[in-house]
Structure 1
């Protein structure tokens, strides 16, 4: 009630006077002020799947290919490409006149080195990388990708929006160990990172890159003409939702990326503010297990937790109790997308017999090990999940240690492979934009890449084999068969537990136009009317 009352009070404040100092008016007209979903703790966009770093990456870096509204590849930094008759040699030509923020021209050797580094970290990139014989640059404009075997979806891998896009950076940075952060934020995107103004936990600044050459086509998602209409982009890190909402209403900021569901109704009544869907395809929530350390290196125990979860307990808390804003999702892929079928309702739906499930925990071999849950305080779309899971596991008779911290600390802590006694973890929660987990190659959640894979280090040779087969499938029927087989295996091995599908709201000043709905907060195409 305190947060709601604060907003009611703010909404009654008089509008700012029309007469302002010219300097302040000019600064407001030339600056887009943005409140990201969380603190920017990791700057290198190749090191993490965190959405806040993805947004940062799109401001600074560019990609060879983007996607259109149907998520089909379209040239971006590339002028075009050619494929040899045997399908084993792809030649991608760079557009002319591309420059990095330090003034150096973009060369094919930069792109080749960038792709090689990216292919060691991104899930789809790792799959492509396993088929690559060499990343080559015979001249300054041509990138040659020589393959060991055909890879028909090569452009799909290079063009997808995230979670880790194939960003291009200078060769000297791209040669950095893919498990260590790059030393500088030098890209060729529409904005350049202003390093001297960066204050972690408070402020991030970007300045328009005047030598950026946008394409002539209209902007669509991460493709087309990325027109930067503002001279500056400033991020304000505001962990408290009430403070962020109030700042938006009073005009201190222009755009709040993840509008709190509890506050959205109040914002919708303010004519100075517009609330809209962040991404029409929606989001999914997930519980992620650490499959490397006890007790969830025991698949039988993970299956019991899967049976115990009630998705509505999670979804109600992040949608403000709006039953129309979420739905059950008994699948490892977003319901409603091609080939996605309900594969888990038989396990997850129905009445929960807690006495039987507690007994099942014992029969699974649980020995009272501590279960460490990492839970963020400053990411409203995830923050409530930790409490729900902690309460559920306590009901199942488990020894729970709920550790609360900011999202940046979760992002850093989840990289630890140590046992919980040495700073490790057992569970964290996250959300994924539907487009980021839309197919087997992209779905980081359930890829079984073990030590080379995503945090939690789930290992499944069966899922990896089925994914390779899916990549080579020639018919819809074969793709459907493999989609179904992958889901069955994922529900059997339980790398994650789906928590439901929902719509995330974003809120912005009513005078902003051109914001592109989609799986990232793209900083281009936006104007102030």
Structure 2
């Protein structure tokens, strides 16, 4: 059993990490423990949070998100739009330079956008409406559209899940099916490739050639002022060891801590809990729409109305401050999200839900629930789903396996008799499913979409209309229309919203809110 005394005693007994002491260079080096190992360096190739955290160190974006989650110029000085809305010209600000000493040109940006638009979901929507990503001169990017795309700045400025990060043209020409491995960007840190050891540590140095913007830093926008000479990521897989290391002062910042360890960390006089992402993650029950029984929309509606989010969120975290009910198919608290599921989600008691299942024509088909045993935030979701479905009269087969097996199984489109599945639960960072275009849990792309393969042509038309909306009022109306469509067709069932904490040494200041941890603006008191 891990106790506070155990952790503090271990920390006091001997150094936990074979690293130079922070005390030797406290004003120059920031030591960080990521939530997982950094294996993919290309932040456009993967939406993994650890790769995006790395990406924001090395690369920059044309537009960032401000404190109101609105796109504002970052590498850009500004933009103009033609009267017909089909030609966008984005001008670069002065002083932009890559880590190899080359100036940032519009050609680099155009090539980076073109590559990103082939990989990212929001980027693909923009790419489908784009004739070309081109240039007028070295300072001016020209995006020519085939139809108006009112959400263009939101697309290229989005902060999570493969942001549109800018690379030198020679790297941006890399085929999107291959990873970029040479880390040359124009961001506030240089990646020290010769010190990179996957599974052990990653090292970044302050880029002296970076010219910050004059505005205050907020989310991924504003002045990215770096106050440390070096940023060292130390991979510590064991949560207890990581907790002991920050208490001993051997590291400054933990990306994540186990909920069970949070009270111990909170008691330490020199360590504070830290929550960078105020919107957390959304837990989701996902149906397989290709196979019975959940190719039946009436049955999906019955389950949506039977789900009480409270036990699901209580199972994820016992701390009430770390969970919220969110009666919506989009994450609560984000711009444009209204809680339209109030009165729908969880509106039926067990007996009424049992009758709704009968009325839907359920024929006793076996319901296979894929459930990972090795992810604490997801495992209880499957257990509770199985319990609920049994109570409302369904034939449930809960299959507990490791996460790797779940990932392999859930791509199968076969019937359950041939190794297929019916339901799988997972979590999504809220910011990554914040609008009708990026929310994979509500899209209707069929077999070209997220596993579960919900096909809904009406939803896709609403998304297209939202992307082309000319005013904020029109966009909000279409956002609500997409939301109501999701509640009607039930591609997925939202199970609630939860929030995770990290930890920082109490002498650190200036940590920003964002969907990942950011290392500019941070200083030591």
1:10 and 2:7 correspond: yes
Residues 70-149 of structure 1 mapped to structure 2, 5 A cutoff: 70-149=68-147
Tell me which of 303, 306, 317 is aligned to 2:304: 306
- CA deviations 1:416-453 (Å, max 9, x no partner) are 55658999876554434444333323323322234444
SS of match in other structure, 2:171: helix
Distance 1:339 1:370 in 2: 32
For structure 1, which runs of at least 5 residues remain unmatched after alignment? none
Distance 2:470 2:402 in 1: 47
Larger deviation, residues 231-240 vs 220-229? 231-240
Tell me which of 491, 494, 497 is aligned to 2:487: 491
Tell me which of 37, 40, 45 is aligned to 2:38: 40
* Matched-pair contact (CA < 8 Å) for 1:10–1:250: no
Distance 1:184 1:67 in 2: 26
1:31 and 2:29 correspond: yes
Residues 162 and 278 from structure 1, CA distance in 2 versus in 1: closer, same or farther, beyond 3 angstroms? same
CA offset at residue 134 of structure 1? Answer: 0.8
Residues 325-364 of structure 1 mapped to structure 2, 5 A cutoff: 325-337=322-334, 338-343=336-341, 345-353=343-351, 356=354, 360=358, 363-364=361-362
Distance 2:310 2:284 in 1: 13
Q: Which residue of 1 aligns with 2:478?
A: 482
Distance 2:184 2:450 in 1: 26
* Matched-pair contact (CA < 8 Å) for 1:99–1:188: yes
Residues 422 and 206 from structure 1, CA distance in 2 versus in 1: closer, same or farther, beyond 3 angstroms? farther
Alignment size in residue pairs: 517
Q: Which residue of 1 aligns with 2:505?
A: 509
* Matched-pair contact (CA < 8 Å) for 1:295–1:371: no
The TM-score normalised by the length of structure 1 is 0.85
CA offset at residue 73 of structure 1? Answer: 1.9
Tell me which of 31, 50, 53 is aligned to 2:51: 53
- CA deviations 1:383-428 (Å, max 9, x no partner) are 543444455567642223222247xx97x75895565899987655
Residues 65 and 417 from structure 1, CA distance in 2 versus in 1: closer, same or farther, beyond 3 angstroms? farther
Q: Which residue of 2 aligns with 1:399?
A: 397
Distance 1:197 1:295 in 2: 52
Residues 434 and 271 from structure 1, CA distance in 2 versus in 1: closer, same or farther, beyond 3 angstroms? same
Distance 1:306 1:50 in 2: 29
Distance 1:101 1:294 in 2: 54
- CA deviations 1:111-168 (Å, max 9, x no partner) are 1111112122323222222221111023322210011122233212211212221111
SS of match in other structure, 2:227: coil
Distance 2:166 2:434 in 1: 24
Larger deviation, residues 442-451 vs 221-230? 442-451
Q: Which residue of 2 aligns with 1:161?
A: 159
1:431 and 2:433 correspond: no
Distance 1:284 1:370 in 2: 22
Residues 271 and 182 from structure 1, CA distance in 2 versus in 1: closer, same or farther, beyond 3 angstroms? same
CA offset at residue 512 of structure 1? Answer: 0.8
Q: Which residue of 1 aligns with 2:223?
A: 225
Distance 2:150 2:456 in 1: 24
Q: Which residue of 1 aligns with 2:319?
A: 322
* Matched-pair contact (CA < 8 Å) for 1:229–1:527: yes
Distance 1:498 1:48 in 2: 24
Residues 39 and 373 from structure 1, CA distance in 2 versus in 1: closer, same or farther, beyond 3 angstroms? farther
- CA deviations 1:250-276 (Å, max 9, x no partner) are 222211222322222221111111113
CA offset at residue 233 of structure 1? Answer: 2.2
RMSD value, Cα: 3.4
CA offset at residue 185 of structure 1? Answer: 3.0
For structure 2, which runs of at least 5 residues remain unmatched after alignment? none
* Matched-pair contact (CA < 8 Å) for 2:306–2:353: no
Q: Which residue of 2 aligns with 1:286?
A: 284
Distance 2:486 2:20 in 1: 59
SS of match in other structure, 1:162: coil
Q: Which residue of 2 aligns with 1:528?
A: 524
* Matched-pair contact (CA < 8 Å) for 2:326–2:339: no
Distance 2:207 2:421 in 1: 41
Q: Which residue of 1 aligns with 2:168?
A: 170
SS of match in other structure, 2:141: strand
* Matched-pair contact (CA < 8 Å) for 2:365–2:395: no
Residues 355-394 of structure 1 mapped to structure 2, 5 A cutoff: 356=354, 360=358, 363-364=361-362, 367-368=365-366, 370-374=368-372, 376-377=374-375, 381-382=377-378, 384-389=380-385, 392=388
Distance 2:10 2:372 in 1: 39
Distance 2:183 2:258 in 1: 31
* Matched-pair contact (CA < 8 Å) for 1:281–1:435: yes
CA offset at residue 494 of structure 1? Answer: 2.7
SS of match in other structure, 1:234: strand
* Matched-pair contact (CA < 8 Å) for 1:111–1:168: yes
- CA deviations 1:471-506 (Å, max 9, x no partner) are 344566644543332123212333322111233322
Distance 2:280 2:352 in 1: 31
